[in-house]
Structure 1
């Protein structure tokens, strides 16, 4: 979904640009501090040391502006987004006991769940991640409902044609990711938290839309049969029209973030049960507290009680 032109877009773009300038100033100061230390020692393996040693194809040090960009990626892009995503996942699972029960069953099957008989479950290994199928569905569904990057700002560098819209060169516009993620046009029961829909490997892709049907339902299993006819056509169609779900704007860092999300959430849920604190005002209060600066987050944080599973099991 696109929002084109208008004073609102310009204001948001200006806010985004000011935030970016402030961020670059911070990392410029950090770079100067690093450069003042001189050449990194041979055994130093910090991010700054690796960037200082990096050379381009001509053997020259990479420009300062490139180092600023890389520092912002390492210190910002992969921290706040991951933290907010984990918070939203834990919140949604805590609000749906039937979903939590399935996640715990999956962890128990892999001997990753704390219990009176196994108070210290074994550490999660990399090979476990691909076996956490249902937890992965929960994370994807959370990122659909609460994309930490709900809007992407762009400037057309040339004249573009997007769907029925012609975008003149130089136009500022917003790609409204959250609007697409929660649209009944693309998602059956779009407002509901339904991890099972992600058992369909093509779930994230936009479906063909016909005049007689606002959407082709997404999701298999007992919720939406994979061979369910829709207007005389089978649900299992070849995806078209690109992604209907892009919580990070189709980021090249998504595989790395996927590992972080699954490993971190699985570790937390294996040891703790999470319950929303009364101060949040329930799920409705969390919904009202949403705020968007660079990422989507509760305005004053997401307060939850962390209850050890072993002690709660013994009580």
Structure 2
């Protein structure tokens, strides 16, 4: 089988480069082959075709489940974190049925009920940061996003169980904070439990503790159902599939683990990038503040969410360094032609969101942070796709965007912050995502004038 533009570097070296420097790996390959190239690096010796052309990605995604399918065995890298029964790990009809159960919990109409939660948590976290002392924005944003997940998804606000979940989740997330530690996901032979002192042994122990907390929470909810609860766990427990069957404890646990890790880690990183860019480019921050001030006192969350320049700033943040680099893999089901290349059944293809967002023909000067590009033209779902696409598009997209906008608006309107230094922040692998290499070092220099009347974000 003739594969399109097969990279010549030995597979093991490709894999090491992909783990250590994914941005450099992708950009080097795309300089040689701008639209499509074939790698041998992800998992076994099977080749993966990286597709970076919007029309080709559209062809793949609109034929999802027909010419292309997304088999769960291509997502095995996530299994240690989220288990076997998460929606991400399900195939075809099982995936579709689970998505139908979970999707209503993340419907846009539900977002306004989370506005007060997000505002209060943001204020609490920022108010506890000492003035004129360096803090890591990525760490502070993780504190916010994790607490939002615990309250909105779990309905857990305070108490020992909440604190334990926060602590253990942060510990597990930090295992994959660097390219070196991320290697555990890419090399299964490293996943050896050599006791609590070993990295993987500690990971397994912490995962078991989280499981115990989750199953205890599920058992208590089942024994004491409360129809008035509106958190996502309660909604999932009351939902039924087409055959009238509720989700099992194991299925609930795996979905909760997915929301816990995929939900808070990615949003925290996106918000840290947004704080970086709005302070690295003061003119962007000033323009954003002017727009926020047009809403007057106590604007409701949905008015903030709909602000055009705020939306453009968040979109540009997600464009320049998308947190996720690739779409979920698809496998060719029948002979197809893609960009004039013949692909045979069994070929694995993946859309490269990072490289699509760096295309000069779509985004002139793509390395430049310029929110105005999202005010000047409309991009298709295959040209701007930070949340993936097709049947595997991120189900938490609405909550992530809502949280990102409200947190950024709340912080900028109420606090004066500054970058510790003006050195450009670079993207670095954090697990399967791209995060700021130095965590975005910042200081709070003071509160903004009239902060009491600005953006209290009262829930409506």
Q: With structure 2 as the length reference, what TM-score do the two structures score?
A: 0.50
- The structure-2 alpha-carbon separation of the partners of 1:155 and 1:263, relative to structure 1 and needing over 3 Å to count, comes to same
CA offsets 1:188-223 (integer angstroms, 9 cap, x no match): 121111111111351x23xxxxxxxxxxxxxxxxxx
Aligned pair count reads: 261
Whole-Å Cα distance in 1 between the matches of residues 278 and 287 of structure 2? Answer: 10
- 1:1-315 equivalences under 5 Å are 1-7=35-41, 10=44, 17-24=76-83, 26=207, 32-37=215-220, 39-43=222-226, 45=229, 47-64=232-249, 66-111=251-296, 122-159=297-334, 160-202=336-378, 204-205=379-380, 243-250=382-389, 251=393, 252-278=395-421, 282-283=423-424, 286-287=425-426, 290-299=428-437, 301-310=439-448
Note the aligned Cα RMSD (angstroms): 3.3
2:74–2:329 Cα contact (<8 Å) kept: no
Task: Please identify, of 12-21 and 255-264, the stretch whose mean Cα deviation from structure 2 is larger.
Answer: 12-21
Whole-Å Cα distance in 2 between the matches of residues 87 and 290 of structure 1? Answer: 13
Q: Report the CA distance between 1:77 and its aligned residue.
A: 2.6
Whole-Å Cα distance in 2 between the matches of residues 11 and 248 of structure 1? Answer: 28
Whole-Å Cα distance in 1 between the matches of residues 237 and 373 of structure 2? Answer: 45
Q: Report the CA distance between 1:82 and its aligned residue.
A: 1.2
Q: Report the CA distance between 1:263 and its aligned residue.
A: 1.0
2:332–2:348 Cα contact (<8 Å) kept: no
1:34–1:48 Cα contact (<8 Å) kept: no
Q: Report the CA distance between 1:68 and its aligned residue.
A: 4.0
Whole-Å Cα distance in 2 between the matches of residues 61 and 91 of structure 1? Answer: 43
- The structure-2 alpha-carbon separation of the partners of 1:268 and 1:78, relative to structure 1 and needing over 3 Å to count, comes to same
Q: Report the CA distance between 1:40 and its aligned residue.
A: 3.7
Whole-Å Cα distance in 2 between the matches of residues 76 and 263 of structure 1? Answer: 21
2:416–2:448 Cα contact (<8 Å) kept: no
Secondary structure of the residue aligned to 1:180 is helix
Q: Report the CA distance between 1:48 and its aligned residue.
A: 3.8
Secondary structure of the residue aligned to 1:137 is helix
Whole-Å Cα distance in 2 between the matches of residues 21 and 131 of structure 1? Answer: 38
Whole-Å Cα distance in 2 between the matches of residues 38 and 267 of structure 1? Answer: 33
Structure 2 unaligned blocks of 5 or more: 1-34, 49-72, 85-206, 452-460
Q: Report the CA distance between 1:270 and its aligned residue.
A: 0.5
Structure 1 stretches (4+) deviating beyond 6 angstroms?
Answer: 11-15
Whole-Å Cα distance in 2 between the matches of residues 165 and 100 of structure 1? Answer: 45
Whole-Å Cα distance in 2 between the matches of residues 104 and 38 of structure 1? Answer: 43
Task: Please identify, of 41-50 and 132-141, the stretch whose mean Cα deviation from structure 2 is larger.
Answer: 41-50
Secondary structure of the residue aligned to 1:268 is helix
Secondary structure of the residue aligned to 2:236 is helix
Q: With structure 1 as the length reference, what TM-score do the two structures score?
A: 0.70
By relative contact order (CA 8 Å, sep 6+), the higher-ranking structure is: 2
